[in-house]
Amino acid sequence: MTRRLILVAELVALPFLLVTVWWFSSAGSSSVFFPPLQTILAALVDWFPEGVTRDVVPSVVNLLAGYAIAVTAGVSAGMVLGRVRALEDAFSPIIQFMRSIPPAALLPFFILAMGPTSTMRISVIAVGAVWPTLLSTIDGARGIEPALLDVTKIYKTSRLRRIFKVLLPAASPLILAGMKTSLAFAIILVVVSEMLASTAGIGYFIISSQQYFNLPDLWAGTIVMGLLGYLLSELFFFVERRLLAWKGEI
Amino acid sequence: MTSFTTESSIMDTVQEAAPSSPALEVSRLAKSYGKREAAKQVLADITVSVARGEFVCVVGPSGAGKTTLLRCLSGLLEPTTGEVLVNGHAVDGPPDELAVVFQDYSRSLLPWMKVAANVEFPLLEKKMSKAERKALVGQMLEAVGLTQHAGKYPRELSGGMQQRVAIARALAYRPTILLMDEPFASLDAQTRAELEDVVLQLRDDFGVTIVFVTHDIDEAVYLGDRVVVLSGTPATVSEIVEVCFPTPRDQVTTKALPEFGAIRGEVLTRIRDAKQQY
Ligand SMILES: Nc1ncnc2c1ncn2[C@@H]1O[C@H](COP(=O)(O)OP(=O)(O)OP(=O)(O)O)[C@@H](O)[C@H]1O
Ligand SMILES: [Mg+2]
C-alpha cells in the first residue's frame, strides 16, 4: 500500500509539482531563451494537430523501424556469435571497432549514400543502435547454463523449442539490458538524423525553430521528444517486468 | 536431428533388442579429458552390465569419475575407448528411452517455467494430446507429492522440492532407464529418506532400470540390488557387492537387519582397500 502510494507520488505528484513551479516561475519571463510555459504550451497547441501527422508520426515510425531492425539483427547475430566460439573470436575485433564509432558520425556518409530519405534515417538508427543489443546478447548466449543444454539433449528438444523456450529465455536478462541501451541510442539517433537533410520529423521541427529563433516552438519540440522518450522507456520497463517475472526480485 | 519420440517408438526400441539383452552394458570403457600431453584419464577399463528393472548404485569418493561415467552412459559424453549398449544398441548420443536426473538439479530446471511446465517440457516432443500431457504431468506431480506446487516457479521451492520436480520430469518422459547423479546429496535426512522411498516405489510402479550415483554408503545399500564401488585414479570398478534384502524395503526394518550392517561394512572395507591401493 505504501509502495503504491510512493509510486503514485512519483508518477503524478512530482511531475505535477515541477510543472507548477515551472509555470509560475516562468510566468512573467521576458527572457528570449526561457519563455513563459504558457507561451510554450500555446505553441504546442498551435503545432497540433497537423504537427502530429507531419512530424511526430514519421519520427515514431523511423524510430520503431530502426529499433526493430537493430534488435532483430543484434539478437540473432548475438545468439549465433555467443554460441559459436570460433565465430566470436573471428568477429570480435570488428565488432569492438564498429561499436566505438559514435553513431552520429555515420550520418554524413549515409546522407551521401542513400539521400535524404526515411530509409536512410532508419538505416542510421539500425546501424547505430545495434551494438549494445549485439554485445549484451553475445554475453547472454555465452553464459547459458550448460546443464540446461544437457537437458535439451537428453529430452531430444526440437531445434525451434530449444531456441525459443531455452536459449532465448536463458539469455533474456542480458538481451533486455542491451535492448534498453539500444533504445536510448535509437531515440538520440532519430532526432539527430532529422536535424540534417530533412523536411519533417520532431528533430526537424526543433532545428527549424532554432533557425527561425522561435524559442517557444523549440521548447515545444523538445518537450514532445522528452515525452516520447519517457513513454517508450516506461513501456519498455513494463514489458521487461513481465518477461522477467520468473526472476522474482525485480 | 529433430526426432519426435512417441510412446510406440520407445516400445519398438525395446522390442527390437534381443529379449535377453541387459538394459545397460558397459564394456571396457575408458575416458580421458583433454588431448595428448594435457590428457587426464578419469575412467579406465570399466565393464559392468545392468539387468532390466535392476537398481544399481555406484559409490566412490568425490572426483572418482562417477558423473563422468554417468555422462558416458547417457550419451552426453563420448567414451575415449570402449562401448556402451542400451537395450542392445550402441549408444551414440542420448538414447530415446533414457532419462537423467542431474547432480545440480536446481540448475537443470528451467527457471522461467512453472513446475508443471517443467515436468511437461520433455513431453512436448512426444506425440501426445494436450489432455494426455496434462494428465501425465498431474500423475507425476502426485507421485512426488507436489500437486500443490504445480503453479510455482522453481525458485519458490525448497531444494528438496526442486529435486522432486527434476525426478517428476524424468519420470514423465517414461524412460525404461533412469540415471540419477547424487540426487539427494544436498537434502536433509528426513526428506532424503522420504525421496528414497519415492524412488523405490516408482521403480516398482514403472519397472524402470535405475543407475544411482551416491556418496552415501547407507543409501546405496538401502536402495540397490547391487552396489558398484568405483575407485582409483583412473577409476576402475573395484568391487560389485550384491545386496539381497527382501523387497519392499523399509527405512526402519531393512536398516535394522543384521545383513544391512554386514553389507555396509563390506562396501566400506572395499572402498578403504581401494584407497590404500592407490
Ligand atoms: N569437463 C571436464 N574437463 C576436464 N576434467 C574434468 C571434466 N569433468 C570432470 N573432470 C575431472 O574428472 C574427474 C572426475 O570428475 P567427476 O565429476 O566425474 O567426479 P565425481 O565422481 O562425479 O565427483 P563428485 O562426487 O564430487 O560429483 C575429476 O578429477 C574432475 O576434475
Ligand atoms: Mg559427480
Per-residue pLDDT of chain B (278 residues; tens, 9 = 90+): 344 444 444 444 444 445 568 888 988 888 889 887 788 888 888 899 999 989 999 998 888 889 999 999 999 999 999 999 998 888 888 999 999 999 888 889 999 999 999 999 999 999 899 999 999 999 989 888 899 999 999 999 988 899 889 999 998 998 999 999 998 887 778 878 888 888 888 888 888 999 999 988 889 999 999 999 887 777 777 777 777 777 778 878 788 788 888 888 888 887 777 666 55
Q: What percent of chain A shows pLDDT beyond 90?
A: 66
**Pocket of ligand 1, beta carbon within 6 A:** B 33, 40, 42, 60, 62-68, 103
Predicted local confidence at residue A114, as pLDDT: 92
Predicted local confidence at residue B2, as pLDDT: 41
Short-list A192, A198, A200, CA closest to A115: A198
Give A-chain residues touching B108 at CB under 8 angstroms. 147-148, 150-151
Residue nearest to atom 29 of ligand 1 (CA): B63
The ligand that comes nearest to the alpha carbon of residue B68 is 1
E strands along A101-246, which residues? none
Predicted local confidence at residue A234, as pLDDT: 93
Predicted local confidence at residue B152, as pLDDT: 95
Ligand 1, from B32, B40, B42: best to mutate by most atoms within 8 Å of Cβ?
B42
Chain A CA closest to residue B178: A154
Predicted local confidence at residue B275, as pLDDT: 65
Give the residue carrying C-alpha cell 575408458. B30
Matching CATH number, A36-247, of 1.10.3210.10, 3.40.50.720, 3.90.1420.10, 1.10.3720.10: 1.10.3720.10
**Count H helices, E strands: chain B?**
10, 10
Measured distance CA(A38)–CA(A96) in Å, rounded: 47
Predicted local confidence at residue B74, as pLDDT: 94
Strand B209-214 and strand B55-59: pairing?
Answer: parallel
In 10 A of CB B27, how many CB atoms?
A: 14
**Per-domain residue ranges for chain A?**
36-247
Q: Which residues lie below 8 Å from residue A176, measured CB to CB, with a gap of 6+?
A: A240, A243, A244
A17, A69, A179, A234, A242 from A237: Cα distances, Å: 24, 20, 11, 5, 9
ipTM over 0.95 threshold: no
pLDDT digits (tens, 9 = 90+) for A115-137: 899 999 999 999 999 999 999 99
pLDDT digits (tens, 9 = 90+) for B29-55: 888 898 877 888 888 888 999 999 899
Q: What percent of chain A shows pLDDT beyond 70?
A: 99
Short-list A178, A164, A167, CA closest to A236: A178
Predicted local confidence at residue B258, as pLDDT: 81
Higher pLDDT, B42 or A234: A234
Instruction: Tell me if chain B has a CB within 8 Å of the CB of A241.
Output: no
pTM, rounded to two decimals: 0.86
Grid coordinates given for A164: 525459443
Chain B CA closest to residue A167: B110
Instruction: Tell me if chain B has a CB within 8 Å of the CB of A145.
Output: yes
